[in-house]
A and B are shown apart, each in its own frame.
Chain A
Amino acid sequence: MADVAQQILLSEIAFSYRSQNARVLDIDRLSIDAGEQVAFIGATGAGKTTLLRLIDGRLFGWTGRAEVLGRTLSPRRAAPRNWNANIGFVFQEYALIERSTVYQNVRNGRLGRTHSALSLVGLFSDRDETAVTEAINDVGLSDLADQRVDQLSGGQRQRVAVARCLAQEPKVLIADEPVSSLDPTSAEKVLDLVRACAEARGATLLISSHQPKLVAQYVDRVVGLKEGQIAFDTPAGAVTPEQLGSLYGWHVADTAARSA
């Protein structure tokens, strides 16, 4: 297939924070096709979150060329809301509205799709309501729909955040360290859920994590980031201990011990 739509294409991307000299992102080329499932791994500060924010259209002040979902991103201006709605983002710390209910939080995922003025007076379309209900069902929280989210556990909150993202009906589903604040059992449940939902909807899935072993089981491609650069980019099964060691600055012997 010569012409699978390249959904995401970054070239010659460079970004640094104004106060620092060090490059936070320094990417020659990264191309991701529609429907791919990719994990971004690397130590804290390797640029994972920054890269995902760039793809989500919420990073400004970078140089280079970035095309996402057929749109050339501007390093200065925010993208139109229709485009934003096509890219869903699950945050590490859930980023929910604490005093709102599960239903209200998930409905916030529709804000980019619905009529802006009508939504302000509380009017949402049937399509919106259906998408919200389905998303809540998909993450298994129907019984808690009217609970305030500040009464939920961490795992439940992250499922609310996933539902909010699903209600957006995204073409690209980004999850930034979605399980780093969760215990291992909840973490696996959330990752299962995220992958199943992305597959069911045919969405491209991008997950970042500093738990390479865990997240590699859920994707088909792993991109290693170190100091803002792509250290390696391989199929999920082919990541070597040496590659992981290079990302985290372990010695190889150490790596063997850790993977044992």
Chain B
Amino acid sequence: MAVANNELEKVIIQSVMEELAKKGLLSQKGKDHVMAAAMMDTPLVPNTESEEMVTFPPQEEMQISNPFNADAVKAMKKLTPARIGIGRAGTRPKTMSLLRFLADHAVAQDAVFLDVSEGFLQRMNLMSVQSAAVSKDEFLQRPDLGRRLSEEAVKIVSEKCEKNVQVQILIVDGLSSTAIEANIPDLLPALMQGLKSAGIKVGAPFFVKNGRVWVQDHVASIVNSEVIISLIGERPGLGTAESLSAYMIYRPNETTVEADRTVISNIHKGGIPPAEAGAHLTDVIQQILAAKASGVKLNQQK
């Protein structure tokens, strides 16, 4: 049956190619190439059953073949997620370290290019609006567009968000959607509980797609909150793609500069655990509200 199918396939492809070539849509060279590919014995569709999953050795495993002091390498590896103690094959990395590097790079790219899933936003009960950047490509090429809301978003925010609250929370994808999905489920409830216990009035948190840090200034100008906090995915590295930052600012306006923002970074399971970060951010927000200032101005008051 496979042989018969192959023969039939060949005939179909050949006639399609000839039709395309007649219309000038395919060169002779192009036609030959596609035909050659079609004639190959092995199918081009990968067979998932025969593909083996690659399992990496645990990251903490020391890969140096004959270490002088294995304890020293182990202790140093414990201190950093950096690629140390990975050994070498001649002047090149070992296959496993190279594969791990490529895999980590792929994870980092996914974090930037993937969107936060609709299912996640529904589960977290978050309203979603978009920045002025309509696609990921535009978001990456035009930083200015990620810093303000789309016209539609402006309308939604002005209609649906509570005004004049003490704190407005934004969840912004930034450069890592992965960070949002990994941390928000533990961070947001801890932060909401802390603010509630402290008797602080908080507007309903919502999500901004394709957003950058400055989008918080635009939102604040609409909702008129005292403090606005963005929980935003950090630029992923090869160590983790799950790191999240919290940027907070007290009443931003047109004279706002970067030094006016207070930031807590490195929130992820290997850094500040997200739930603990929620409780810590409550403290920081209370300080900002009391000082009526954020960023360097807040530190100067301490």
Physical interaction between A and B: no
